[in-house]
């Protein structure tokens, strides 16, 4: 525990250095652990799904809706990430692009889910301004707040790539969502992204009132590498003795950078994320192999998880990160932290933001929102 605290506190110290004076947001426009598998949306299985043979290197068959997205992604002709530089990888087609292409092929609108207000701007960070986007739902407020961290292995993707998830969460959880970017590797190595994530959380605590948010009802949500950031922020807040998030939603989080888990073996060749890509991301972000042991990366190895916020943890069957997400859920539960864990069958990494075309994404968003809504009710008593 002593070494864990020291490592986390070193990152906290760097993250707070540039936050002595917090600037205003610069506007530029515009239950107990549940381990059962998903049983809903079975209407989409059957004949269509049976057309797709099980793929080698994957732990199951995508359902029909998920397969349609994967087919579109393949048709976009992206190159294998592991063969590219980080700069080249950032230009490749994304699952979000595949969703848009699928909607177009179905003759449906590609307009994003509407929310009452969207504002782009910057918040102060340890090494300079951090791009952020605030999504405000309908209503009078003051609203609960979600600090959201996008995925991309700490290397690729941005606020635009992960625009669908914050919109869905704002509406479902009836909360303001502050989607925060962060410095990315390899230009900025660990713990740069973690420092920025913690800085964004502190900024929200200090400035929520200014954008009609409630600073006493702040949750953290993240997907993939962003899920790791959200969990790490909760740990950092505990060590810094700051108000902790009232809830944490971790969607297929990176919870351990050691390769070799059951799901990493089963999904070694999965799409859109496979096991070699994990190695590529870790090599880009972590300065040395020893950094895999940091408590901010190896969440499943943290000795003391007591007192952390209740958690909703969501994983996908066809995802190399499935095992470590479940392992972290179990570790939290063993520490007495309330956890609502669910693994969604027939879907892959990145499914969470695909509610426009994948029904299980809608279910996952509702699960996440239920955890946040429940925590907000408790915090308002």
Active site (catalytic) residues: 224, 319, 349
Looking only at the bridges linking them, the beta strands covering 213-223 and 143-149 are: parallel
**Dist CA 225 CA 134 (whole Å):** 20
In whole angstroms, how far apart are CA 86 and each of 91, 196, 334? 9, 20, 38
Best CA proximity match to 294, nearest among 276, 306, 282: 282
Alpha helices in 146-213 (DSSP H): 164-173, 192-207
Instruction: Give, as one character, the DSSP assignment of residue 240.
Output: T
Strands (E), 3-124: 117-123
**What's the token pair of residue 176?**
């303001």
Helical pair 95-105 and 64-75, crossing angle rounded to 10 deg: 100
Instruction: Give, as one character, the DSSP assignment of residue 53.
Output: P
Strands (E), 258-359: 311-318, 339-348
**Dist CA 324 CA 293 (whole Å):** 14
* Whether 296 contacts 255, CB under 8 Å: no
What is the helix (H) or strand (E) element at residue 217, kind and residue range? strand 213-223
* Whether 160 contacts 131, CB under 8 Å: no
**What's the token pair of residue 333?**
């539960």
Best CA proximity match to 164, nearest among 227, 98, 216: 98
* Whether 90 contacts 75, CB under 8 Å: no
């Amino acid at each position: 525990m002593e070494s864990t605290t020291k490592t986390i506190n070193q990152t906290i110290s760097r993250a707070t250095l540039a936050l002595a004076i917090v600037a205003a947001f610069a506007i530029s426009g515009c239950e107990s652990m549940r381990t059962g598998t998903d049983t809903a949306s079975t209407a989409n299985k059957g004949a269509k799904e049976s057309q797709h043979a099980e793929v080698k290197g994957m732990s199951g068959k995508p359902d029909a809706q998920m397969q349609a997205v994967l087919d579109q992604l393949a048709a976009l002709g992206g190159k294998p990430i592991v063969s590219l530089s980080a700069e080249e990888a950032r230009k490749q087609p994304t699952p979000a692009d595949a969703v848009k292409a699928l909607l177009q092929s179905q003759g449906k609108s590609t307009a994003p889910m509407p929310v009452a207000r969207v504002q782009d701007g910057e918040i102060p960070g340890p090494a300079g301004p951090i791009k952020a986007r605030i999504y405000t739902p309908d209503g009078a407020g003051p609203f609960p707040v979600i600090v959201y961290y996008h995925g991309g292995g700490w290397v690729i993707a941005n606020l635009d790539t992960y625009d669908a998830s914050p919109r869905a969460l704002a509406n479902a959880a009836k909360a303001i969502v502050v989607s925060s970017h962060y410095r990315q590797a390899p230009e900025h190595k660990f713990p740069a992204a973690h420092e920025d994530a913690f800085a964004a959380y502190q900024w929200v605590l200090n400035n929520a009132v200014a954008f009609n948010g409630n600073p006493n009802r702040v949750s953290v949500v993240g997907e993939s590498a962003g899920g790791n950031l959200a969990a790490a922020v909760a740990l950092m807040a505990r060590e810094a003795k700051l108000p902790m998030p009232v809830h944490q939603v971790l969607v297929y989080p990176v919870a351990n950078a050691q390769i070799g888990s059951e799901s990493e073996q089963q999904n070694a060749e999965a799409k859109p994320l496979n096991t070699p890509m994990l190695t590529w991301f870790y090599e880009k972000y972590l300065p040395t192999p020893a950094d895999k042991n940091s408590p901010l990366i190896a969440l499943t190895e943290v000795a003391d998880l007591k007192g952390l916020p209740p958690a909703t943890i969501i994983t996908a069957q066809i995802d190399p990160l499935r095992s470590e997400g479940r392992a972290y859920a179990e570790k939290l539960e063993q520490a007495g932290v309330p956890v609502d864990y669910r693994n969604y069958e027939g879907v892959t990494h990145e499914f969470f933001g695909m509610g426009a075309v994948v029904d299980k994404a809608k279910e996952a968003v509702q699960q996440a929102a239920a955890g946040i809504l429940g925590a907000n009710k408790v915090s308002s008593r």
